[in-house]
Amino acid sequence: MTPKKKTGLLQRLLSLAAAAALALSLGGCGTSAVVPGGSADVVPNPSSTAASVDAPFEMHFIDVGQALSVLVECDGQFMLYDGGNVDDGSLVVSYLQSQGVEQLEYVFCSHAHEDHVGGLAAALAAAQTAEGRAHITVLDKNAKVGKKLLATGNGRCNLDNRDITPERYFTSSPKALRRLLSAVDEAAPLAWFESLGLYPRTDETGRVYPYSNQAADVLALLEHHLARCGVEVRTGCTVQTLSQSRGGYVVLFSNADGADESLRADAVVCAMGGSAGPQFGTDGFGPRFAAQCGGALAPLYPCLTALQCAKPDKRLAGIRAKAHAALYSGSTLLADYRGEVQFTDYGLSGICIMDLTRHLTPAVKSPAVELDLFPDVAEDALSALFAVRVPLLPGDTAADFWLGLLNAKLGRALWQAAGLPDADVHRLSAAQWQKLAHTAKHWRFDGLTPCGWKQAQVTGGGLALTELEPDFQFKGCPGLYFVGETLDCVGRCGGFNLHWAFGSGLAAGRSAAKPRRTVPSQKPPRKKKH
């Protein structure tokens, strides 16, 4: 397809879509949304933009969950602004076909998703601490730094949270977590960003964003200060081996041209990420590297992702409901969260569901989720509420019963789950109303599996926290540090994981820049060619 040369129209389309995208983007922890819905919100000829557009205009917000996909039509031309997640492709195409779109004149992608951010914070913190006494080099496997940062918070960068506590994180080493999280908090990543010139804002849930709502501004700020402090950033570099030498380390790597190089360093900070998002270049390199350095690993598993059900009810796809969600292993309660549950054609999603997956380690057997669709009403009170509604109903079917209570499709599915007859609602007994109330409070979904690495926002498991000193230094290897997603620590959605990534990077970078009085042991960590 060859774009038509209508520069003025293009500018109007882009500015309108970008404004709408910014206004409607949802806050989140990470990156991709996990809810392929099946519908779109359409805004025809908005009066707020009529003055700036001299042609018929429509904007379609395609339901791709917490991601973004906007179809803009103006003067007979179409523009697609973002396309949701990788797995949303068929949904977006179907919607375009349903609208009679045969050609897209313009396609824009607001951001990509890749890279890991703790290393940038570590490099800058080291440079600031050293105050010109050291040379700091960043080796990045990707062609550009900060791509994952650009995607956080749906392009707004949910960089922190005002309610940081150990309870907001999950790890196999909770005692070590408290010690390390204290170091992260002491590093004060938000205050550090403010010292760089960032002005934050906090929403009603405690999530912190740059006031501009632009993740690109955060990255630009980091890049500016890295350059200002003389940090050398080298992209397209793949580490092959790390070995100890007298008084330091030697890093062997291939550069962007494929040639082998070596770099001697007094200290090395490893911010290599995990396995989440393989479509963006991640492959579990960080934990494997840590293991080959002699570190103990907790098994890896995908976190902050959706759940697939063994027998999903595809009729519920696209429906959202406020609920209390509880994760069970058999009959044992593992965790519970409250929020919006999103039903998909493959299972369950939403922030509270994604938070539950932090606890879904490989050791969990027979996982199940129970949904309470009326979390503020006790079961007996709910049963009584159901019974007193009967005389007020306009008809005698289950569809009539749910008017004003639940989405009709959701209500019918719940009704069926309780095993109640679809008609003769007026004849239901008190025991049947009690059964419906119990089902509404304990709607169970068995046979669950995480959607996997492609949809996962972060990696569960990784290098055990017990392997680290309070400054994130690898025990037994002075000057070697591991930070961020490589470690066995996963925070809830809402800025907790970026707080950990930036804070651990700051703590490690400041420590790495200090003069060393000890020498490494003679047992070198080694990394085989990757």
pLDDT digits (tens, 9 = 90+) for 328-358: 999 999 999 999 999 999 999 999 999 999 9
Helix (H) or strand (E) holding 140: strand 137-140
Of 456, 453, 475, nearest to 464 by C-alpha is 475
User: What residues contact 516, with CB distance under 8 A and at least 6 apart?
Assistant: 247, 266, 267, 478, 479
pLDDT at 9 over 50: no
CA distance linking residue 39 with residue 61, whole number of Å: 9
pLDDT > 70 in the chain, percent: 77
Q: Which pLDDT score, from 0 to 100, does residue 89 have? A: 52
The conformation of residue 197, written as its DSSP 8-state character, comes to T
Q: Pick the residue with more confidence: 44 or 452?
A: 452
Q: Which pLDDT score, from 0 to 100, does residue 68 have? A: 67
Mean pLDDT, range 442-454, rounded to an integer: 92
Distance of CA 83 to the CA centre of its chain: 17
Residue with tokens 């995990």: 274
Q: Which pLDDT score, from 0 to 100, does residue 506 have? A: 97
Q: Class assignment of domain 118-302+452-512? A: alpha beta
Q: Which pLDDT score, from 0 to 100, does residue 59 have? A: 78
For the segment 256-311, what is each residue's pLDDT rounded down to a tens digit?
A: 999 999 999 999 999 988 888 776 667 788 898 899 889 999 999 999 999 999 88
CA distance linking residue 385 with residue 144, whole number of Å: 58
Q: Pick the residue with more confidence: 9 or 316?
A: 316
pLDDT at 50 over 60: no
Residue 439 binned pLDDT confidence (cut-offs 50, 70, 90): very high
Helix (H, G, I), strand (E, B) or coil at 314: helix
- Helix 430-441 vs helix 379-389: crossing angle, to nearest 10: 130
Residue 69 binned pLDDT confidence (cut-offs 50, 70, 90): confident
Of the listed ranges 1-5, 80-84, 275-279, 310-314, the one predicted with least confidence: 1-5
Q: Which pLDDT score, from 0 to 100, does residue 105 have? A: 61
Of the listed ranges 232-246, 306-320, 324-338, the one predicted with least confidence: 232-246
Mean pLDDT computed over every residue of the chain: 82
Q: Which pLDDT score, from 0 to 100, does residue 20 have? A: 43
Q: Which pLDDT score, from 0 to 100, does residue 491 have? A: 96
Dump strand ranges (E) for 146-296. Answer: 160-161, 169-170, 200-202, 207-210, 232-235, 238-245, 248-254, 260-265, 268-270
Q: Which pLDDT score, from 0 to 100, does residue 138 have? A: 94
The conformation of residue 296, written as its DSSP 8-state character, comes to -
Q: Which pLDDT score, from 0 to 100, does residue 114 have? A: 32
CA distance linking residue 56 with residue 365, whole number of Å: 56
pLDDT at 87 over 60: no
For the segment 493-530, what is each residue's pLDDT rounded down to a tens digit?
A: 999 999 999 999 999 999 999 876 544 444 445 444 44
pLDDT at 1 over 70: no
Of the listed ranges 115-129, 198-212, 360-374, 392-406, the one predicted with least confidence: 115-129
Q: Which pLDDT score, from 0 to 100, does residue 352 have? A: 95
C-alpha count within 13 angstroms, C-beta hemisphere, residue 292: 15
For the segment 154-176, what is each residue's pLDDT rounded down to a tens digit?
A: 778 899 999 999 999 999 999 99
Q: Which pLDDT score, from 0 to 100, does residue 25 have? A: 36
Amino acid letter, residue 47: S
Q: Pick the residue with more confidence: 43 or 271?
A: 271
CB-CB contact of 519 with 478 (8 Å):
yes
Structure tokens at 367: 């996982």
Residue 42 binned pLDDT confidence (cut-offs 50, 70, 90): very low
Distances from the Cα of 517 to the Cα of 6, 350, 478, 520, angstroms: 65, 50, 9, 10
The domain ranges of the chain are 7-108, 118-302+452-512, 307-450
Mean pLDDT, range 147-157, rounded to an integer: 74
Of the listed ranges 406-420, 475-489, 511-525, the one predicted with least confidence: 511-525
Helix (H, G, I), strand (E, B) or coil at 227: helix
CB-CB contact of 443 with 371 (8 Å):
yes
Q: Which pLDDT score, from 0 to 100, does residue 84 have? A: 60
Mean pLDDT, range 82-98, rounded to an integer: 59
The model's pTM: 0.74
Q: Pick the residue with more confidence: 323 or 144?
A: 323
CB-CB contact of 516 with 249 (8 Å):
no
pLDDT at 125 over 70: yes
Q: Pick the residue with more confidence: 310 or 36?
A: 310
Of 419, 398, 424, nearest to 409 by C-alpha is 398
* Maximal C-alpha separation, the chain: 86
Task: Count other C-beta atoms under 10 Å from residue 517's C-beta.
Answer: 6
Helix (H, G, I), strand (E, B) or coil at 360: coil
Q: Which pLDDT score, from 0 to 100, does residue 101 have? A: 75
Q: Which pLDDT score, from 0 to 100, does residue 80 have? A: 77
